[in-house]
Amino acid sequence: MRLKNKTALVTAAGQGIGYASALALAAEGAQVWATDVNASLLEKFRGVERVQAVQLDVLDKDAIQKVVAGMPAIDVLFNCAGYVHNGTILQATDEEWNFALNLNVRAQFWAIQAALPRMLKQGGGSVINMASVCSSIKGLPNRFIYGTSKAAVIGLTKSVAADYVADGIRCNAICPGTVDTPSLADRINANADPQAARKAFIARQPMGRLAQAHEIAPLVVFLASDESVFVTGQAYAADGGITI
């Protein structure tokens, strides 16, 4: 097993990419703290070997610190929580901006600040931050707040990587294309014509299909493992060719 003796914290593990990643990390031998704000989604982890399901709202700084302090060790932090705001700069409100930036970026700042001292004491660790190809990599229509927030994630990732590169800390971002997750289904169903909306999402993907969450999880496992020991400060795209 590739992650034997590693302990990992995953945020937003209740569904989608976080859920698939928590399962994949545990399957490779990691002890996984699978967390989500929605406790009912965590029921799925009952009976799953090596997974501790813990309710955690990443908008709550004290709660993040408590969860990290309660872990026996922390070798891997996967900051997965995030929200997709729909709209242009002229449609965006201050409330939407604050909410998305707090969830997509500030929560990562808080979680890394909580985990890093322990990783440094242990002599190393791997931080994986959820970004997106919709970021500094690519502009997409109606993703003003989202693209801004995910570009910030890439900057945050590179800053942390630069500061701790000599201390055994690695920090990388992952940048998926469109992944068929419950929140994507919500975004599609919010359209007047959901069928046309799904077709438009698929048309963005040169492979002609959306990703499944379990197709993103192997990247998380790789970045969590010592196989990626020489990899830091990178923004890894798994996007079905959207940025070719």
- Residues with a known catalytic role: 146
- Taking each helix axis from N to C end, the angle separating 107-122 and 144-164, rounded to the nearest 10 degrees, works out to 20
Strand order of the β-sheet with 169-176 is 51-55, 31-36, 7-10, 76-79, 125-130, 169-176, 235-238
Residue type, 164: Y
- Min dist. Cβ of residue 155 to ligand NAD (A): 16
Phi/psi of residue 128, nearest 5 degrees: -125, 120
Shortest CB 47 distance to ligand NAD, Å: 19
Q: Which helix (H) or strand (E) holds 175?
A: strand 169-176
Q: How far apart are the first and last CA of the chain?
A: 33
Any residues with CB less than 8 A from the CB of 183 and at least 6 apart, and which?
15, 16, 83, 84
- Provide, rounded to whole angstroms, the least separation between the CB of residue 31 and ligand NAD: 20
Nearer to ligand NAD, 16 or 125 (CB): 16
| Residue in the shown chain whose Cβ atom is closest to ligand NAD | 82
CB of residue 66 vs ligand NAD: minimum separation in angstroms? Answer: 14
Degrees, nearest 5: CA angle 78-80-83: 165
Measured from the CB of residue 4, what is the shortest distance to ligand NAD in angstroms?
26
CA–CA gap between residue 146 and residue 85 (Å, rounded): 6
- Residue with smaller CB distance to ligand NAD, 17 or 161: 17
Place of tokens 């996007």: 239
Nearer to ligand NAD, 14 or 125 (CB): 14
Binding site for ligand NAD (CB under 6 A): 11-12, 14-18, 36-38, 41, 56-59, 80-82, 84, 103, 130, 132, 176, 178-179, 181-184, 213
- Give the residue with the Cβ less far from ligand NAD, 122 or 183: 183
Between 124 and 218, whose beta carbon lies closer to ligand NAD? Answer: 218
